[in-house]
Structure 1
Amino acid sequence: MADTLERPAAQPDRPRASPRRIRRRRGNPLIRWTLRLVAVVYVAALVALPVFTVTKETFGNGLDPVLEAVSSPDFVAAVKLTLLVAGLAVLLNTVFGLAVSYLLVRYRFPGRGLLNTVIDLPVSISPVVVGLALILVYGTTGWFGTDLESVGIQIIFSTPGMVIATVVVALPLVVREIIPVLEEAGLDQDQAAQSLGANAVQRFLRITLPTIKWALAYGVVLSLARSLGEFGAVRVVSSSIAQESQTVTLYINDQYQEFGPKPEQAAFAAAFTLMITAIVFIAIIAALRPKDK
């Protein structure tokens, strides 16, 4: 039997572009180097210069004042509270991010677009507004504040309120890292595993999780860095009492507002510690993440 499919006619070879044309497609070298210079200057002015300034002010008087500042009881208590608040916030955002990302990519339901929009809401509003909104909901005169306080639960001006505020401001980071990877992976492997008898838990652990592990790790690190450095929302819902409800960012603010070289040194030392911690986390995940070819 003759073949029913016809082979396409052979296309004539297209003339190759000359090296001069290829060189032109890459752009004018002057424009290219000008754009690079603008980018370097912009990043240096906004990132490198502040980092250099904080480092210079921190170690301007030597190492001993820095060690004294970071070993003070107020700073140690602030670090412990910051780690507690950030750890709980990252844990909640990781669980929520996994669930919502899977829901938005794998299913279609009424209100899906609204949910997808609300997730990005913390990015578009000020953290101070987030803190104010939490006071209106969980404060003494808020929607649920009176009922919660009647059973002995205080949200605002306590650790739970600081955790909730941190969760809200870091909410989209895990979700926005996972969703593009899930969309690119598609459903083929998941459906194949389902046809072979794998249940939902097995498909998630053996197919979905290995696919999104680097996106999840990167989202968790970004969420952790954001949670450690949060100030605006936490400042509104915290009483900022030393060794009770003062995170590292609140400690930096309070110390810098005091007069004298010692509080200023303590503020710069705490800022340097927080800055280095965030840089280390991001550098580690950037080094471990597979590089694209």
Structure 2
Amino acid sequence: MADSRLIRSRRGPVTYVLRVLVVLYLFLLVAWPVSLVADRAFRATGTHEGGVGPFLERLTDPATVYAFNLTITVAIWAVIANTVFGVGISLLLVRYRFVGRRVLSVLVDLPLSVSPVVVGLALVLAYSSTQGWFGGTLETIGIQVIFSTPGLILATAFVSLPLVVREVVPVLEEIGTDAEQAARSLGANGRQVFRRITLPSIKWAVVYGVVLTSARSLGEFGAVKIVSSGAEFRGETATLFVHNHYQAFDEPAAYAAALVLVLISIIALVVVTYLRPKEERA
């Protein structure tokens, strides 16, 4: 009751001015530029026709289909890897105390602070067949990392690594270990405790992390540009497709692919918002 009175007492001219400024800031920074992408995707420019028909034709072009298929393949593998290792790392950080725990926590957050371009360069130094530490050895057994799909998966997994971990860790800390210890006292082994107690408790956090990781993986550009040849039908992901066609003055194709990426991101945010419990959305 006191909180509601406090909230009502804060309503006034200053509050409304702040709301207007925030809405204006978000409109100029996010909504307006994104709406321009949508407008250009359907607009006729030069010799290119506008409308829904030409827009769909650009999306069904073989080069566009290849780019999105490759992007989806890379994203799926990156999401699988980060989900498995993300849950494992979360359990390690929350349930165990060991030397280097804080260092591990910092390393998990490293992709959030390091430029994706630097990530790509680091992967080239590690896995390039000519100058990498492991690239030559891997190539002798028929595995090429750089300028191939494995390199794209590594780069994408790196930049999206923290998303599952940072969703799961707070939930593990909140639920504690009482239920797990009770299950062990009744004779359950570690696998049974994880499957019947831990996993159901963190399932929504895992879902949030998977959705956010998917959106991040589909939109990655900097790291994949370094580790991919970036040529049409040869390692060109959807983001590289947008960049290459925009640079080649094929703006309608670039805007069409960019709009699809924007829509995917919006859908991901809607899904996360819808799946969150009502008390969190409030």
TM-score range, shorter chain: over 0.9
The letter for the 2-side match of 1:203 is V
Cα distance, 1:239–1:189 mapped onto 2, change above 3 Å: same
2:95 to 106, 112, 121: 106
2:174 alignment partner in structure 1? 184
Alpha-carbon separation, structure 2, partners of 1:212 and 1:38: 37
Q: List per-residue Cα deviations over 1:28-72 (Å, max 9, x = no partner).
A: 512221221121112111111111111111112211220110010
1:38 aligns with 2:25: no
2:256 alignment partner in structure 1? 269
Q: List per-residue Cα deviations over 1:169-224 (Å, max 9, x = no partner).
A: 00000000000010011111111111111111111111111111111100100000
Alpha-carbon separation, structure 2, partners of 1:25 and 1:87: 47
Alpha-carbon separation, structure 2, partners of 1:29 and 1:153: 65
Identity, % of aligned pairs?
A: 53
Alpha-carbon separation, structure 2, partners of 1:290 and 1:177: 14
1:57 aligns with 2:46: no
* 1:24, distance to aligned residue in structure 2 (A): 8.4
* 1:167, distance to aligned residue in structure 2 (A): 0.4
The letter for the 2-side match of 1:155 is V
TM-score by length of 1: 0.89
* 1:229, distance to aligned residue in structure 2 (A): 0.2
2:165 to 175, 178, 181: 175
The letter for the 2-side match of 1:83 is I
1:78 alignment partner in structure 2? 67
Q: Is the 8 A contact 1:65 1:265 kept in 2?
A: no
The letter for the 1-side match of 2:185 is S
The letter for the 1-side match of 2:22 is A
Alpha-carbon separation, structure 2, partners of 1:24 and 1:241: 56
* 1:289, distance to aligned residue in structure 2 (A): 2.4
1:198 alignment partner in structure 2? 188
2:209 alignment partner in structure 1? 219
Q: Quick check: 159-168 or 56-65, which moved more?
A: 56-65
Alpha-carbon separation, structure 1, partners of 2:6 and 2:95: 45
Q: Quick check: 152-161 or 87-96, which moved more?
A: 152-161
2:106 alignment partner in structure 1? 117
Alpha-carbon separation, structure 1, partners of 2:267 and 2:81: 22
Alpha-carbon separation, structure 2, partners of 1:165 and 1:225: 15
1:5 alignment partner in structure 2? none
* 1:281, distance to aligned residue in structure 2 (A): 2.4
* 1:148, distance to aligned residue in structure 2 (A): 1.7
Q: Quick check: 164-173 or 31-40, which moved more?
A: 31-40
Q: Is the 8 A contact 1:69 1:266 kept in 2?
A: yes
SS at match of 1:278: helix
Cα distance, 1:38–1:153 mapped onto 2, change above 3 Å: same
2:200 to 205, 210, 217: 210
TM-score by length of 2: 0.92
Q: Quick check: 146-155 or 222-231, which moved more?
A: 146-155
SS at match of 1:84: helix
Q: Quick check: 191-200 or 91-100, which moved more?
A: 191-200
Cα distance, 1:197–1:57 mapped onto 2, change above 3 Å: same
Cα distance, 1:206–1:72 mapped onto 2, change above 3 Å: same
Gaps of 5+ in 1: 1-15
2:247 to 229, 232, 257: 257
Cα distance, 1:111–1:74 mapped onto 2, change above 3 Å: same
Alpha-carbon separation, structure 2, partners of 1:252 and 1:100: 34
State the structure with more CA Rg: 1
Alpha-carbon separation, structure 2, partners of 1:222 and 1:95: 15
Q: Is the 8 A contact 1:252 1:270 kept in 2?
A: yes
Q: List per-residue Cα deviations over 1:248-283 (Å, max 9, x = no partner).
A: 000010000113xxx211000000111112211221
Aligned-CA RMSD value: 1.7
